[in-house]
Amino acid sequence: DCRSVTCQASPNIALIKYWGKRNEELILPDNDSLSITLDTNDMHSYTTVSTSSSMTCDTFYFDGVQQTKLASRMQKVLNEIRRRTKDGKIKFVEIRSHNTFPASSGLASSASAYASLAIALTNLFNLDDAQSTAAYLARIGSGSAVRSIYGGFVRWSSEGECLSSCVFPAEHWSEFRIVILIFNSSKKAVSSTDAMQRTRQTSTLFQARLSTINEKMTQLIEAIKNKDFNAFAKIVMMDSSQFHAVCMDTYPPVIYLNEQSKHLIHLVHAYNQMDGDQTTKVAYTFDAGPNPFCFIRQEHVDEFLRLLKYFYPTVNADADKQVSSDADEKFSSITLPVTPNVLERIVLTKIGSGPKIIS
Ligand code: DP6
């Protein structure tokens, strides 16, 4: 009587950040956030859940290796499933999870992992209102995971049910690309869960940030609707900076950006201003780590990769393949205050259309 479901889901990158919970247990956020879900073909988490009457406990395998203990939030998701299944005699679950992207990629895998787990469980147990149930389950696993339940541009509301919805599908802005720069960084950052608690307790800038969210959200949605990249870029970069300013205003301070992050910030602005024609070509955002996520339209990708090659000569072969010609002297007019270090890897990807049930 063994049944099993496999689902894949991709990470998402916040354009307006979620930072702060007004309810820790249910993971209800202090503010609305908006993200893009990445292309499933390039990177995703893959989760298979199975159940049978002969199982005597919950088990979790990560990359084929059985884990001694389930994470407490994973346990919380399973307990919620048992609460919701009507016959009451559920049963234990085996979870097998795998990521197609490395943990060191700078992308949080918790969002894609909990989203794929939530959808797989919802299907395995045939729960009602599949998408909102999956969103609820993903959210209690990890807040930002609620946004990976959908593809395209996704909003997570801080009011009402506090679930997510797709604002625009992936096809809405088909020229849109994401360039992820992975700098060499060995230092382990403070977890977002701990850091956001500390922010709530100590930062006075935090309340000021919350008062800016609604207007920013309206403007960003309008910019995406009109595919107005200039407006989009400014809002996204300013929200990233504001989030990191709030982290710095936390005591003890939470510092996610490093010298390389700051170098990239200077580089992007210098590059955007280079031709003096008011056209913003690239935007960046940083989550709880030093690696930048850059946003760009397809027509500028080639030149941006050449720029990166010029400033970070050590980029990997994968990225080299995407560069059409040798780095040129065009960029020598840009001078920056800090020297770059090693850029380990570049990942070029698109907006994704959301999770898939595989079997
Ligand atoms: C900076 O979703 O990882 O990436 O809800 O405690 O699991 P928990 O936190 P998490 O926080 C993500 C914070 C962020 C911004 C964002 O993704 O919106």
Each residue's pLDDT tens digit, 233-287:
999 999 999 999 999 999 999 999 999 999 999 999 999 999 887 899 999 999 9
Contact criterion met (CB below 8 Å) for 29 and 143: yes
pLDDT mean over 299-326: 77
- Which neighbouring-strand residues pair with 8? 46, 356
The residue type at 159: E
Nearest-10 crossing angle of helices 213-225, 229-248:
150
- Which neighbouring-strand residues pair with 12? 37
Closest Cα to atom 6 of ligand 1: 193
Q: How confident is the model at residue 339 (pLDDT cuts 50, 70, 90)?
A: low
Q: Specify the ligand 1 atom closest to the Cα of 29.
A: 5
Asked whether 142 lines ligand 1 (CB < 6 A), one says yes
> Tens digit of pLDDT for each residue in 111-162?
999 999 999 999 999 999 999 999 999 999 999 999 999 999 999 999 999 9
Whether pTM exceeds 0.95: no
pLDDT at residue 299 in the model: 97
pLDDT at residue 186 in the model: 59
Asked whether 340 lines ligand 1 (CB < 6 A), one says no
For a pocket test of ligand 1, which of 17, 18, 146 has the largest count of ligand atoms closer than 8 A to its C-beta? 18
Q: How confident is the model at residue 38 (pLDDT cuts 50, 70, 90)?
A: very high
Cα(124)–Cα(10) distance, integer angstroms: 20
Q: Specify the ligand 1 atom closest to the Cα of 143.
A: 5
Is the pLDDT at 300 greater than 90? The verdict is yes
Q: Compute the mean pLDDT over every residue in the chain, rounded to the nearest whole number.
A: 91
- Ligand 1 centroid – CA 17 distance (Å): 8
pLDDT at residue 359 in the model: 85
For a pocket test of ligand 1, which of 192, 255, 291 has the largest count of ligand atoms closer than 8 A to its C-beta? 192
How large is the greatest C-alpha to C-alpha distance in the chain, in angstroms? 70
pLDDT mean over 169-181: 97
Asked whether 27 lines ligand 1 (CB < 6 A), one says yes
Cα 344 to the chain's mean position, in Å? 20
Is the pLDDT at 321 greater than 80? The verdict is no
pLDDT at residue 333 in the model: 80
Is the pLDDT at 314 greater than 80? The verdict is no
Nearest-10 crossing angle of helices 298-311, 259-273:
130
Return the percentage of the chain with pLDDT > 90, whole number.
75
- Ligand 1 centroid – CA 143 distance (Å): 6
